[in-house]
Chain A
Amino acid sequence: MIEVQNVSKFFGNYPAVEDVSFKVEKGEILGLLGPNGAGKTTIMRIITGYTPPTSGTVKVAGHDILHDSMAARAAIGYLPETVPLYTDMTVREYLLFQAAIRGVPNNKKGQRLEDVVETVRLNDYVDTHIGKLSKGFRQRVGIAQAIIHEPSVLVLDEPTIGIDPIQVVETRSLIKSLGGGDRAVILSTHILPEVSMVCGRVVIINEGRVIAEDTPANLALRLQNSRQVSADIRGPTKLVTAAIEKIPGVTSIHRESFEGHSQYIVECGVGNDCREELAKVVVANGWGLLSMQAKGMTLEEVFLELTTQEEA
């Protein structure tokens, strides 16, 4: 439903997004995960046709966002990061206006209004002025406007930002219920637990590039098993090297000598954590293990910047 192909976006010489490609299929909820400033919002804006890409193509529901813009836009429901609301309108006026400009036929507008208000549970607030609603409720109005025309593609930019924890939980289950069926959903977030709760697949963005794409479970697995270990060991270098080579799963060793000890960079195959074995071998031979740490991989570095815990 959403096809992003080799999309780049430059602001002057600064690349906000570089060569990004991914797809979102029908019935799927894709999480766009990345630290603040990674380019998530820019990607969302390119998908929705708000900002044209510098190069590359985007297709939404089979329509090119630049060349067949009206048809592509008609297929999208969009919730930008700052929920765009007319605060002097009532919820009803606002949603009816959105329905009108998104092509909901006049005789269906009333029914659609009732439906979305029911879905986001705003029944008691239809005739309240938006300016008087709390942040969480405004967020719901934002989601309601995004789904009022029953779009086949839903684009949600940081949908749980700035609302209280209870409403965050509610919003997530709401998003889950909106996905599935014929609809493709893409949501951006910088909160790690959010993707594992809501999304079926994750694309990780850092500094404008895709650095990983997988299911949340697989990504968590890849993260736990650091594949590079750096260890400072005091001992006869040849014997140490030979001993490390015998550890199952080790694929390569790089050594650098310092005064009195050497630093070994040990690489293990995916799925192998050789740190424990390494420590055992060193201790068993009576050498000195001065330090040992898992080497940072790019993916991991990104994860360190992500919010890994819920603020409560």
Chain B
Amino acid sequence: MADISAAPVKRMPRGMFREMTRNTYAITWKELKAYFTQPMAYVVAVVFIAITGFFFVDSLSGPLPLANLYGYLREIRWVLLVLVMGAVLTMRSIAEEQKMGTLELLLTSPVRDWEIVLGKYIATLIFFYALLLLTMFYPLLLKIFASPDMGPIWTGYLGIALAGAMFLAIGILASSLTNNQIVAAVLTLGILFGLWFLYLAEGFIGGLPGSAFVYISPRSHYDALVRGILDTGSIVYFITVTISALFVATRSLESRRWR
């Protein structure tokens, strides 16, 4: 084992980078294992696969199946599902560590605060992407029996993947603010619904501030991707919000020391 791990190490910048990835990896791995020792992960997985399967069947049963597949209805359904899932998958993350006192060990071990946040985030992301990958079975099935336009399907999936990444990051942030899982979940849902429906503000504000609200809301960005528009701005939006949320979560974790 020593020989195998020693070889690539020499090519890497020694020391810090290696130690950082190592810490993050240790936390990610621990979190992933924790998912599978709890019934919650299985429940979420089964529910997710079942509901997306239903979405798929439903989208094929309309008069214009292919046009319907990534139509407006499908968009809000998916988002609702991913949004609730994001809250459920992340609510324990930091809140539970605080409640059980294990956060004290994490924060006194030679691991940086952002490594803790990132490690936990990557674990939820891997879990979510694994489920998302499973649902790709449906469009692939469609491809076998028909010839759908795969472009919007891929960008749609990219949209869900990016929105999910953002939702999970906000979930981690909410979980870092409290030591109560339920509070964390409700807070996540509150923030996400709030952000999502912010676009409605355009209706009664209008003008530049109105379009600013539309921009802040993830809806328009997601919508573009689902309609098959590979817009760099939208991708940048999701990545920016994700990174910001993780950054604030790190700060919030840090501030726990002062409380």
Which B residues touch A70, using CB under 8 A? 110, 112
B26 in complex: contacting residue of A51, A80, A87, A97, CB < 8 Å:
A97
Cβ-based interface call for B33 (8 A)? yes
Cβ-based interface call for A287 (8 A)? no
Cβ-based interface call for A74 (8 A)? yes
Q: Are A98 and B105 in contact (CB under 8 A)?
A: yes
Flag the segment in B96-104, B120-128, B172-180, B206-214 that touches A: B96-104
Which A residues touch B26, using CB under 8 A? 97, 100-101
Distance in Å from the Cβ of A281 to the closest Cβ of chain B? 59
Cβ-based interface call for B107 (8 A)? yes
Q: How far is the CA of A84 from the CA of B257 in the complex (A)?
A: 17
Which A residues touch B1, using CB under 8 A? 106-107
* A157 nearest in chain B by CB position: B104
Distance in Å from the Cβ of B77 to the closest Cβ of chain A? 33
Q: Are A107 and B105 in contact (CB under 8 A)?
A: no
Cβ-based interface call for A139 (8 A)? no
**Interface secondary structure of B, over-half rule:** helix
Q: How far is the CA of A106 from the CA of B18 in the complex (A)?
A: 13
Q: Are A84 and B5 in contact (CB under 8 A)?
A: no
Cβ-based interface call for A278 (8 A)? no
Which B residues touch A89, using CB under 8 A? 33-34, 37
Cβ-based interface call for B147 (8 A)? no
Q: Are B102 and A85 in contact (CB under 8 A)?
A: yes
Which B residues touch A88, using CB under 8 A? 34, 37-38
Which B residues touch A76, using CB under 8 A? 108
* CB within 8 Å of B: which A125-169 residues: 145
User: Given the interface contacts A73-B108, A82-B101, does A101 sit within 8 Å of B23 by beta carbon?
Assistant: yes
Cβ-based interface call for B109 (8 A)? yes
* A65 nearest in chain B by CB position: B108
Q: Are B110 and A84 in contact (CB under 8 A)?
A: no
* A75 nearest in chain B by CB position: B110
Distance in Å from the Cβ of A106 to the closest Cβ of chain B? 6
Q: Are B5 and A107 in contact (CB under 8 A)?
A: yes
Q: How far is the CA of A62 from the CA of B52 in the complex (A)?
A: 57
Distance in Å from the Cβ of B214 to the closest Cβ of chain A? 43
* A81 nearest in chain B by CB position: B101
B109 in complex: contacting residue of A86, A93, A101, CB < 8 Å:
A101
* A129 nearest in chain B by CB position: B37
Cβ-based interface call for A37 (8 A)? no
Q: How far is the CA of A106 from the CA of B143 in the complex (A)?
A: 45
Distance in Å from the Cβ of A38 to the closest Cβ of chain B? 20
* CB within 8 Å of A: which B73-127 residues: 100-112
Cβ-based interface call for A216 (8 A)? no
Q: How far is the CA of A51 from the CA of B106 in the complex (A)?
A: 13
Distance in Å from the Cβ of B104 to the closest Cβ of chain A? 5
Q: Are A50 and B110 in contact (CB under 8 A)?
A: no
Contact with A along B7-22 (1 / 0, CB 8 A): 0000000000001001
User: Given the interface contacts A70-B112, A102-B110, does A93 sit within 8 Å of B33 by beta carbon?
Assistant: yes
* A85 nearest in chain B by CB position: B102
Q: Are A86 and B110 in contact (CB under 8 A)?
A: no
* CB within 8 Å of B: which A89-135 residues: 89, 93, 97-98, 100-103, 106-107
Q: Are A80 and B27 in contact (CB under 8 A)?
A: no
Cβ-based interface call for B141 (8 A)? no
A86 in complex: contacting residue of B5, B102, B107, CB < 8 Å:
B102
User: Given the interface contacts A86-B34, A106-B1, does A52 sit within 8 Å of B257 by beta carbon?
Assistant: yes
29 pairs, CB–CB < 8 Å, chain A vs chain B: A49-B107, A49-B108, A50-B108, A50-B257, A51-B258, A73-B109, A74-B110, A83-B101, A84-B100, A84-B104, A85-B102, A86-B34, A86-B100, A87-B100, A89-B33, A89-B34, A93-B33, A97-B26, A98-B105, A98-B109, A100-B22, A100-B26, A101-B23, A101-B27, A101-B110, A102-B110, A103-B19, A107-B2, A107-B5
Residues of chain B whose beta carbon lies under 8 Å from any beta carbon of chain A: 1-2, 5, 19, 22-23, 26-27, 30, 33-34, 37-38, 100-112, 257-258
Give 13 A-B pairs besides A52-B257, A76-B108, A93-B33 with Cβ atoms closer than 8 angstroms.
Answer: A45-B104, A51-B258, A71-B110, A73-B109, A80-B104, A85-B100, A85-B102, A86-B100, A97-B30, A101-B109, A103-B19, A107-B5, A145-B105
